[in-house]
């Protein structure tokens, strides 16, 4: 098992399934109000350079529920902001903390932090990947449908960090993924090239959202303007307007299609309120499951990995 949780592709199928199986157990205990505290006296450091509601709150609450605690380390409040290197910061905070979750635009920064830290580093979203989100979403699909192998997911919209992690997950967990993205907004080329090397996987990138949803079990979307892209808002709203998840699009899918969105949503842009609050939407349950799946990530990285075990 890897020390860090940076990308879905860093884990094999069995390891990814181990996270999901533990999340199921953790949620069952949570629902029955049974205490589960394998991380007593452990501390999670949380570095958030970009805003977050779900990731930040669910990691902090998750760590508390596991018996440990979490501290926020805003980059502007620590000496990183005054030129201390990431490498030195990684070495020092490894002496105080047991794990770090970081949300920062540059994936490279997260890789450097992980390389120099002795403790697990968890990617809380970079411009390239959002692995906690997608593994949690697969847990949600298993919970709702009973399985995810062979399922057909239609991702509609921007080929962004969330789309990249969906592609990685389809490679490892063997489901069908159709991404409908406008020309010029397809997922990362390197990620697609990696996908292309695995002939047996069924990952397609097309342009027409109606074609993508016709046979889908899940319709998934994300914002059209990700963090750091605000200057492109006007252009993006124009390009993506045919990719809105609205009742016309949902009517073309199976009757029992499930609607997912990683959130935050911009109602009236990538998704209408009618669909978001409609009977096929599992979006709020999906958000809750971040808590349970991330508790599984914390527990596994901190207790099942020999290097990070403490008696
Ligand atoms: N989906 C997600 O990561 O939400 P936050 O940006 O609120 O953390
Ligand atoms: N693609 C979005 C995801 C937010 C959770 C962003 O990067 O802003």
Give the residue, 146 or 199, on which the prediction is more confident: 146
Cα of 110 vs centre of ligand 1, distance in Å, is 17
Which residues does 4 contact at the CB level (< 8 Å), separation at least 6?
10, 114, 120, 121, 122, 123, 301
- Reported in sequence order, the residue ranges of the chain that DSSP labels E, i.e. its strands, are 43-48, 69-72, 99-103, 121-123, 152-156, 176-180, 203-206, 218-221, 258-261
Q: Which of 42, 54, 130, 292 is catalytic?
A: 130
Q: Look-up: residue for tokens 């349950």?
A: 285
Q: Could you give the maximum distance between any two Cα atoms of the chain, in Å? A: 57
Judge contact between 259 and 250, C-beta under 8 A. Answer: yes
Confidence bin at 116 (pLDDT 50/70/90): very high
For the residues 121-146, what does the mean pLDDT come to?
Answer: 98
Q: Whose alpha carbon is nearest atom 3 of ligand 2? A: 226
What is the reported pLDDT for 304?
86
For residue 245, the 8-state DSSP code is B
Ligand 2 neighbours by CB, cut-off 6 Å: 125, 160-162, 222-223, 226-227, 262
Judge contact between 104 and 55, C-beta under 8 A. Answer: no
Phi and psi, residue 281, nearest 5°: -80, 130
What is the reported pLDDT for 198?
64
What is the reported pLDDT for 199?
52
Least reliable range by pLDDT among 201-210, 243-252, 288-297: 201-210
Percent of the residues in the chain that have a pLDDT greater than 90, as a whole number: 89
Average pLDDT, whole number, for the chain?
A: 95
What is the reported pLDDT for 273?
98
Per-residue pLDDT tens digits for 23-40: 999 999 999 999 999 999
Per-residue pLDDT tens digits for 153-194: 999 999 999 999 999 999 999 899 999 999 999 998 888 888
Ligand 1 neighbours by CB, cut-off 6 Å: 52-55, 125, 133, 262-264
Calpha distance 299→309 (Å, rounded) = 10
Calpha distance 277→43 (Å, rounded) = 37
Confidence bin at 115 (pLDDT 50/70/90): very high
Per-residue pLDDT tens digits for 238-286: 999 999 999 999 999 999 999 999 999 999 999 999 999 999 999 999 9
130 is catalytic: yes
- What's the sign of the alpha-carbon dihedral 260, 199, 210, 266? positive
Q: What is the pTM of this model?
A: 0.95
């Amino acid at each position: 098992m890897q020390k860090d949780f940076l990308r879905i592709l860093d884990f094999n199928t069995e390891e990814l399934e181990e996270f999901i199986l533990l999340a199921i157990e953790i949620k069952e205990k949570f629902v029955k109000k049974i205490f589960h505290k394998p991380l007593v006296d452990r501390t999670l450091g949380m570095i958030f350079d970009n805003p977050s509601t779900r990731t930040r709150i669910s990691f902090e609450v998750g760590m508390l529920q596991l018996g440990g605690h979490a501290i926020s380390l805003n980059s502007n409040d620590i000496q990183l902001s005054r030129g201390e290197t990431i490498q030195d910061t990684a070495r020092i905070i490894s002496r105080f903390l047991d794990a770090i979750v970081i949300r920062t635009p540059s994936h490279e920064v997260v890789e450097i932090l992980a390389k120099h830290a002795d403790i697990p580093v968890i990617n809380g979203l970079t411009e390239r990947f959002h692995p906690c989100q997608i593994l949690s979403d697969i847990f949600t699909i298993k919970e709702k449908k009973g399985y995810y192998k062979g399922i057909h997911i239609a991702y509609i919209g921007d080929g962004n960090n969330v789309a990249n992690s969906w592609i990685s997950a389809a490679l490892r967990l063997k489901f069908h993924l159709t991404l409908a993205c406008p020309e010029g907004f397809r997922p990362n080329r390197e990620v697609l090239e990696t996908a292309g090397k695995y002939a047996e996987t069924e990952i397609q990138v097309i342009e027409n959202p109606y074609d993508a949803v016709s046979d889908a079990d899940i319709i998934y979307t994300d914002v059209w303007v990700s963090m750091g892209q605000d200057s492109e808002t006007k252009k993006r709203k124009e390009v993506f307007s045919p990719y809105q998840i609205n009742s016309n699009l949902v009517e073309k899918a199976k009757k029992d299609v499930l609607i997912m969105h990683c959130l935050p949503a911009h109602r009236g842009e990538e998704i209408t309120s009618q669909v978001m609050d409609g009977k096929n939407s599992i979006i709020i349950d999906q958000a809750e499951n971040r808590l349970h799946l991330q508790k599984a990530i914390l527990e596994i990285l901190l207790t099942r990995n020999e290097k990070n075990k403490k008696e």
